[in-house]
């Protein structure tokens, strides 16, 4: 089992870590520009796109679980039809986002209380990056399908190439052409469409034969579409709550001023680095749990749950140790602004706790996605957001200031893990329960 887990997890960890690496490079590039509001604009702009794109994260997560189950059942017709449906949905949503780009940005900037400079450059960033929407959503579906097919290598290749291209282009636009957040946006736009082209080429290279199993009239099969959206409805609600929490965090940071926003943006990047690493094992759990549920192998399913949890907790503990020892030095890599460094250092304790505290919820997310037991994910996220995060923020901020904001985030992650753990025995560990 460890061999199967590591075969899937290691490529996922490598590819996942390249995602926050891009954020780290972008933050460092913009953080060293002459005005702090550029960093604030990048944070707010990224938050808007996180809200938009993460909201459609079900295009990857739901696709992985459903595909893995058909892979376990060895049904090639359903495997290729899942991919066809998700691509149709992804491009449709992406085109709608481009069409409604103006009301989206106006509404976003109305909600977020930022300085005039931050708002101005956020719009510059947004107006370019919005055209990545069809490509990024199509990539979600394609990578989710690859993972469901027990292929973690292709998503790794796509993600690494995508982010390395993005980094090179961003460095070129900012350092050579003397651009600012507009350079980051153009780098993202170009690299995303090139990455989608790479993904299509990889599919044709290995899976072209699956196209012979494609039945055009089945793509709109009502029963399968209802099943797809039933699973993804719960994932969507769960993801919207997650996005709301991180967006609320950024918005409340912005409300406290550009300095707090800049410091919290840097610490949140460290938080995301750890989460993407641990998510490598969550993705492995999605693939394996779905596969063993599809083949109705209860013993292997239980084993996959236990071993993925062990690996995730180990990696989370390692992340906490690294941040405890090197946290100060890592913050200094992002900016040379002494005020930002001092403020970040005052609250970095919460970022040190984050990897270990969050690891349980990250792995269990993968377990429940693979089992397509998405109802508990929806329920626990609603409880953690409304009954834990928001009360903790308002009470904690009143009592502890900026520390209250971070306390709310840590309690939110802990609550997710505990609540999902309570559902685990009855909803996942028996393959005939679903």
CA–CA separation, 143 and 275 (whole Å): 19
SS3 string, the chain, reads CHHHHHHHHHHHHHHHHHHHHHHHHHHHHHHCCCCHHHHHHHHHHHHHHHHHHHHCCHHHHHHHHHHHHHHHHCCHHHHHHHHHHHHHHHHHHHHHHHHCHHHHHHHHHHHCCCCHHHHHHHHHHHHHHHHHHHHHHHHHHHHHHHHHCCCCHHHHHHHHHHHHHHHHHHHHHHHHCCCCHHHHHHHHHHHHHHHHHHHHHHHHHHHHHHHHHCCHHHCCCHHHHHHHHHHHHHHHHHHHHHHHHHHHHHHHHHHCCHHHHHHHHHHHHHHHHHHHHHHHHHHHHHHHHHHHHHCCCHHHHHHHHHHHHHHHHHHHHHHHHHHHHHHHHHHHHHCCCHHHHHHHHHHHHHHHHHHHHHHHHHHHHHHHHHCCCHHHHHHHHHHHHHHHHHHHHHHHHHHHCHHHHHHHHHHHHHHHHHHHHHHHHHHCCCHHHC
Question: Does the pLDDT of residue 100 top 60, yes or no?
Answer: yes
What's the confidence (pLDDT) of residue 433? Answer: 44
CA–CA separation, 361 and 422 (whole Å): 12
Q: What is the mean pLDDT of residues 212-220?
A: 79
pTM: 0.75
**Residue reference for tokens 């999902």:** 420
Q: How confident is the model at residue 23 (pLDDT cuts 50, 70, 90)?
A: low
Q: What is the mean pLDDT of residues 43-48?
A: 80
By residue count, the chain amounts to: 434
Question: Does the pLDDT of residue 81 top 70, yes or no?
Answer: yes
CA–CA separation, 47 and 277 (whole Å): 20
54: containing domain: 2-433
Q: How confident is the model at residue 152 (pLDDT cuts 50, 70, 90)?
A: confident
CA–CA separation, 271 and 51 (whole Å): 17
Domain count, the chain: 1
More confident call, 3 vs 143: 143
**Cβ-contact 232, 93 below 8 angstroms:** no
Question: Does the pLDDT of residue 11 top 70, yes or no?
Answer: yes
Question: Does the pLDDT of residue 17 top 80, yes or no?
Answer: no
Question: Does the pLDDT of residue 419 top 90, yes or no?
Answer: yes
Average model confidence (pLDDT) across the chain: 86
Q: How far is CA 157 from CA 4, 16, 403, in A?
A: 19, 11, 39
Q: How confident is the model at residue 434 (pLDDT cuts 50, 70, 90)?
A: very low
CA–CA separation, 1 and 105 (whole Å): 47
Torsion 203-207-211-215 (CA) sign? negative
41-50, 183-192, 294-303, 346-355: lowest mean pLDDT where? 41-50
């Amino acid at each position: 089992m460890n061999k199967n887990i590591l075969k899937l997890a290691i490529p996922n960890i490598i590819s996942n870590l390249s995602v926050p690496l891009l954020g780290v490079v972008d933050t460092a590039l913009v953080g060293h520009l002459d005005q702090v509001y550029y960093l604030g604009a990048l944070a707010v702009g990224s938050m808007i796109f996180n809200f938009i794109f993460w909201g459609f994260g079900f295009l990857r997560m739901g696709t992985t679980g459903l595909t893995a189950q058909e892979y376990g059942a060895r049904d090639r017709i359903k495997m290729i039809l899942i991919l066809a449906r998700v691509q149709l949905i992804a491009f449709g949503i992406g085109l709608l986002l481009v069409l409604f780009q103006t009301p989206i940005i106006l509404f976003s900037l109305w909600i977020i209380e930022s300085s005039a400079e931050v708002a101005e450059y956020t719009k510059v960033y947004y107006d370019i990056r919005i055209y990545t929407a069809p490509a990024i959503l199509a990539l979600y579906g394609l990578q989710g399908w690859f993972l469901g097919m027990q292929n973690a290598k292709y998503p790794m290749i796509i993600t690494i190439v995508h982010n390395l291209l993005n980094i090179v282009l961003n460095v070129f636009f900012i350092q050579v052409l003397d651009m600012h957040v507009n350079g980051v946006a153009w780098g993202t736009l170009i690299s995303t469409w090139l990455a989608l082209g790479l993904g299509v080429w990889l599919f044709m290279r290995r899976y072209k034969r699956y196209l012979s199993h494609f039945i055009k009239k089945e793509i709109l099969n009502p029963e399968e579409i209802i099943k797809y959206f039933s699973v993804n409805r719960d994932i969507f609600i769960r993801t919207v709550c997650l996005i709301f929490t991180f967006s609320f965090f950024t918005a409340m940071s912005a409300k406290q001023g550009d300095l707090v926003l800049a410091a919290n943006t840097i610490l949140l990047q460290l938080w995301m680095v750890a989460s993407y690493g641990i998510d490598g094992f969550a993705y492995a759990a999605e693939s394996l749990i779905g596969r063993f549920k599809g083949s109705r192998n209860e013993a292997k399913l239980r084993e996959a749950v236990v071993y993925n949890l062990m690996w995730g907790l180990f990696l989370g503990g390692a992340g906490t140790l690294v941040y405890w020892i090197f946290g100060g030095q890592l913050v200094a890599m992002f900016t040379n602004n002494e005020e930002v460094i001092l403020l970040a250092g005052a609250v970095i304790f919460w970022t040190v706790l984050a990897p270990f505290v969050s690891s349980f919820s990250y792995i269990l997310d993968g377990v429940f996605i693979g089992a397509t037991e998405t109802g508990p994910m929806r329920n626990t996220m609603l409880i953690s957001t409304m009954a834990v995060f928001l009360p903790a923020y308002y009470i904690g901020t009143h009592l502890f200031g900026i520390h209250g904001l971070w306390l709310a985030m840590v309690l939110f992650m802990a609550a997710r893990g505990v609540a999902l753990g309570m559902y685990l025995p009855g909803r996942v560990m028996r393959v005939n329960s679903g």
